[in-house]
Amino acid sequence: MVVPFSDKTQHEAKAFERTKQSFCLPDGIIYLDGNSLGPLPKGVSERVATAVEEEWGGKLIRAWNEADWIDLPTRVGNRIGAMIGAEPNAVVVADSTSINLQKALAAALQLRPERKVILSDSGNFPTDLYMAQGLIAALGDGHKLKVVSPDEVEDALDDSVAALMLTEVDYRTGRLHSMKALTAAAHAVGALTIWDLAHSAGALPVDLAGCKADFAVGCGYKYLNGGPGAPAFIYGRPDLVDRIKPLQSGWMGHEAPFAFELDYSPAAGADRMRVGTPPILSLTALDAALDVWDGIEIDTVRAASIGLADLLIDEIERRCAGFGLRLASPREGDRRGSQVSFHFDEGYAAIQALQAQGVIGDFRAPDLMRFGITPLYIGEAEIIAAAAGLETVLKDRLWDQPNLKTRAKVT
């Protein structure tokens, strides 16, 4: 049956009505920073309280088995895996994105011992580059990190490259790489790929298995709304992962942690990418946060996100013309992730002034005002109100106050 377009749109609007009700958002706040820290979903507090009081408090050590804490990293990993096109049991939740990136990179280098180049781009998130630099120094094996501009990546691939390490969506501009094309290009020269999905998971459709991506990592606290410092995830291609010797060879990645053997022997599959004891309370929060996604198609979210981002660009450019703003994001929706950024010389102060208007975005050095688009709880009305707020900030020069120009520790 062909669903008439209007019914479909109504159905989508209904779906987001439900998800919007699923978040605790403070009154009077328009939240355009879910790409940095997702808001609190309603069921989380209760689930965490249950884990604290009934599981930890009541069951004590028995909860590892009775509440199945021990397999929570895989259970939550499978829920995230389903959102990013991973095979079953190919994703585990563990550690932070930085640590997982280093695990994946070490694995890729090990699988290409004769090659010494790690290729990345200047749009990558700095921690990814830092973790590569640290790994190179620790290995002491002559590896080099080669950083090119985002549009030069494909041409820089050659048979010296062991690993292509990229973030799919640029955290500053929102520019989206083609995972499919670049993974194929990397494989054509014999390189392996590591994709950072920090700004992809929960933001747009990802097809890890279909792209034959080798490794991937990403955050639990951005579009997945798992809470501050939520554990991250790591994916390893099932046919590769059994061949790696983990850099961080901890007991939780051992094939038999409770055999307490003196020598390390990795578990089969993605479990070998686990290291130490999982943070059960944070994992429980992330698990509960993922309930919001039940019944929601990521394609629906993507379509709404592109529409809302287009609207934000139009509204800001129309209302704020003549104030020196310049769009930093790709104008074409299919070349963008789920955020919109503008250059503005006084961007930091303007973002502070906008917060005072109840609109929360963020600032990224040197001059970017960044707005995350999250259709689960942001609709057209919020987008228009946010643009109107920015218009007020610029027209009335609300940014031009000394107290708004002193940068806090976290921007």
Ligand X SMILES: *Cc1c(COP(=O)(O)O)cnc(C)c1O
Catalytic residues: 125, 196, 221-222, 370
Least spacing, CB of residue 281 vs ligand X, in Å: 17
Q: List the Cα angle 172/207/112 in 5-degree steps.
A: 85
Using the rule CB under 6 A, is 173 a contact of ligand X?
Answer: no
403 burial (CB, 10 Å; 0-12 / 13-18 / 19+) is exposed
From the list 40-48, 123-131, 174-182, 204-212, the region that binds ligand X by CB under 6 A is: 123-131
Task: Compare residues 194 and 404 and give the one whose CB is closer to ligand X.
Answer: 194
Q: Is 170 in the site for ligand X (CB under 6 A)?
A: no
Of 125-133, 201-209, 281-289, 325-333, which part binds ligand X (CB under 6 A)?
125-133
Q: Are 230 and 81 in contact (CB under 8 A)?
A: no
Instruction: State the minimum distance, in angstroms, from the CB of residue 404 to ligand X.
Output: 25
Contact 191, 83 (CB under 8 A): no
Determine the Cα–Cα distance for residues 366 and 379; give it in Å rounded to an integer. 29
Site for ligand X in 185-214 (CB under 6 A): 196, 198-199
Q: Of 374, 373, 368, which Cα lies nearest the Cα of 123?
A: 368
Q: Is 338 in the site for ligand X (CB under 6 A)?
A: no
Footprint (CB under 6 A) of ligand X, residues 127-146: 127-128
Q: Quick check: 78 binds ligand X (CB under 6 A)? A: no
Beta strand 233-236 with 215-218 is antiparallel
Site for ligand X contains 117 (CB under 6 A): no
214 closest CA partner among 332, 346, 108, 127: 108
Number of residues forming the site for ligand X (CB under 6 A): 13
- Asked whether position 125 contacts ligand X by CB under 6 A, the answer is yes
We find the least distance from the C-beta atom of residue 220 to ligand X, in angstroms, to be 8
Q: Which is nearer to ligand X, 92 or 394 (CB)?
A: 92
Residue 392 interacting with ligand X (CB under 6 A): no
Interatomic CA distance for residues 278 and 257, integer angstroms: 13
* Least distance from ligand X to the Cβ atom of residue 329, Å: 15
Q: What is the Cα–Cα distance from 101 to 92, expressed in whole angstroms?
A: 13
Least distance to ligand X from the beta carbon of 239, Å? Answer: 26
Q: Which of 74, 97, 183, 352 binds ligand X (CB under 6 A)?
A: 97
Among 98, 178, 300, 355, the residue binding ligand X under the rule CB under 6 A is 98
Q: Record the tokens describing residue 100, joined without a space.
A: 């997982």
Strand, coil or helix: 337? coil
Please say which residue, 15 or 169, places its beta carbon nearer to ligand X.
Answer: 169
Contact window for ligand X (CB under 6 A) among 121-129, 152-160, 256-264, 365-373? 121-129
Query: Which residue in the set 162, 232, 286, 292 belongs to the binding site for ligand X (CB under 6 A)?
Result: 232
**Of the listed pieces 93-101, 154-162, 277-285, 331-339, which binds ligand X according to CB under 6 A?**
93-101
Rounded-to-integer distance, Cα 347 and Cα 370, Å: 9
Helix (H, G, I), strand (E, B) or coil at 237: coil
Structure tokens at 252: 């939780």
Of the two residues 128 and 382, which places its CB atom closer to ligand X in the complex? Answer: 128
Q: Judged by CB under 6 A, does residue 355 bind ligand X?
A: no
Q: Smallest gap, in angstroms, from Cβ of residue 398 to ligand X?
A: 29
Q: Which is nearer to ligand X, 97 or 173 (CB)?
A: 97
**Nearest to ligand X of 164, 353 (CB atom):** 164
Which 3-state string (H, E, C) describes 2-59?
A: CCCHHHHHHHHHHHHHHHHHCEECCCCCEECCCCCCCCEECCHHHHHHHHHHHHHHHH
Local structure of 152: helix, strand or coil: helix
Q: In the complex with ligand X, which residue's Cβ is closer, 196 or 346? A: 196
Residue 268 and residue 125 in contact, taking contact as beta carbons nearer than 8 Å: no
Q: How far apart are the first and last CA of the chain?
A: 49
- Taking the C-alpha atoms of residue 129 and residue 236, their distance in angstroms, rounded to an integer, is 20
Q: Which helix (H) or strand (E) holds 73?
A: helix 72-83
CB of 373 to ligand X, least distance (A): 15
Q: Does 96 bind ligand X (CB under 6 A)?
A: yes
Instruction: State the residue for tokens 């790409």.
Output: 35
Binding site for ligand X (CB under 6 A): 96-98, 125, 127-128, 167, 171, 196, 198-199, 219, 232
